[in-house]
Amino acid sequence: MKTKLLPILFISLLTLSLASCGEETQNEKTEPQAVNVKVQNPTTTLPQRLSHKGKIQSSKSIDIQSRGSSYVEQIFVNVGDKVEKNQLLVKLNSEDIASKRTQLLAQLEEVNASLENTERDYERYKNLREKNSVSEKELESIKLKFKSVQSQKAAVESQLKGIESELKYFNIKSPFDGIITSKHLQEGDLANPQMPILQMEVNNAFEFHFSVSEREISALRKGQLSTVEISNDHQKIDAQISEISSSSLNSGGQYIIKAKLLNSDNIDLFSGQQGEIQLVTDKLDQGVFVPESALIRRGGLQGLYVVSAEQKAMLRWVKVGANNGKHIEILSGIQTDESIITSSDSKLYNGINVNY
């Protein structure tokens, strides 16, 4: 009986041994390999970044309007037309003033004829006085008449000069090279100084207008470089601060800032387009900042992988603050001396071993 049991016992022990070896091999195969990662400590200071919404506007824009009330006789341009300096844009009806000019010209002709006669008389009386043929009183009388006619001529010429100067405003010309952006009146409409006939702006020269608070105005300087992102198509354009307002009295406590758009890529721009300007100032923001690429988003939660004392990746949920370009502020959840995983060779999960 003992002889029969020995082979059975031997086979059982062998089976248990083989099973144990297989389990050890399986455990060795399932042990996860360490993932290679890059880490860094949070940054505590970053250059201050400002971001403000605003509008694109032409760097030079004017209203074309009349100096007095008159009917529009002819408009020579349409919206979108490019015009040159001194090009005729609008002709206003000038019949009344032209009629007055004609009357003054006729009056000037009469005065000139009278002046010519009076001058001859005056010269004749001077010769006669030298011969004692006329009295001093008679000479003085003709002299006064001569001077009176001279004064009449000067008055008429002054009126005529004013009329001709005024006539120039009935032919309205372009003050600079530009483009017509709007048309408010049509031929036959009554123009007056309160209503623009046309609007025009300089072509392909734009600024970005935005406003900042009293707290931010000290961080800006003229010549500072920035970037403007157009809202509708997200194209980015380099810009440079060109004007900083020194008063906020008439702008609701905000300071108006203008930035010249350096449109080197010749992007099509239009006045009134919405955009957002981003600037990096000389001031430093204090806080806890990590690369935005290190942030893990799951649903409504946001977290970071930190390296534990056991060289394992541990997911830490955090509360985030403002975005500062490529970095994001962490309000709570990590310490400044902790190592943040910024990238890895493969997918991370909570508790995996890491190398760096």
Task: Tell whether 243 is covered by a domain.
Answer: no
Q: Are 201 and 178 in contact (CB under 8 A)?
A: yes
The CB-side HSE value for 188 (13 A sphere, CA atoms) comes to 0
* % of the chain at pLDDT higher than 70: 91
> What is residue 106's three-state secondary structure?
helix
**Same domain, yes or no, for 108 and 162?**
yes
Mark which of 140, 172, 204 sits at the end of a domain: 172
Domain containing residue 331: CATH number: 2.40.420.20
pLDDT digits (tens, 9 = 90+) for 101-142: 888 899 899 999 989 988 898 888 888 888 888 888 888 898
Torsion of CA 231, 232, 235, 238, to 10 degrees: -40
Average pLDDT over the chain reads: 87
Q: How confident is the model at residue 14 (pLDDT cuts 50, 70, 90)?
A: very low
Residue 168 lies in a domain: yes
**What Cα–Cα distance (Å) separates residue 230 from each residue in 16, 57, 76, 77?**
73, 13, 34, 30
In a domain, 184, yes or no: no
Residue 98 maps to a domain: yes
Domain that holds residue 340: 35-46+286-355
pLDDT (0 to 100) of residue 16: 44
Q: Which two tokens stand for residue 198?
A: 């046309």
Which of the listed residues 172, 190, 210 is the one where a domain comes to its end?
A: 172
Q: Is residue 336 part of a domain?
A: yes
Q: Is residue 254 part of a domain?
A: no
Lowest mean pLDDT among 86-95, 123-132, 239-248: 123-132
Q: Using one digit for the tens of pLDDT, what is the confidence trace for 264-299?
A: 888 989 999 999 999 988 887 888 999 998 999 988
* Number of neighbours of residue 59 by Cβ within 10 angstroms: 14
- Residue 31 confidence (pLDDT): 56
Provide the domain count of the chain: 2
Q: Which of 58, 85, 45, 111 is nearest to 273 (CA)?
A: 58
Q: Is residue 105 part of a domain?
A: yes
Give the three-class secondary structure for 91. Answer: strand
Q: Which of 98, 101, 221 is nearest to 171 (CA)?
A: 98
Q: Which residues pair with 71 in a beta bridge?
A: 190
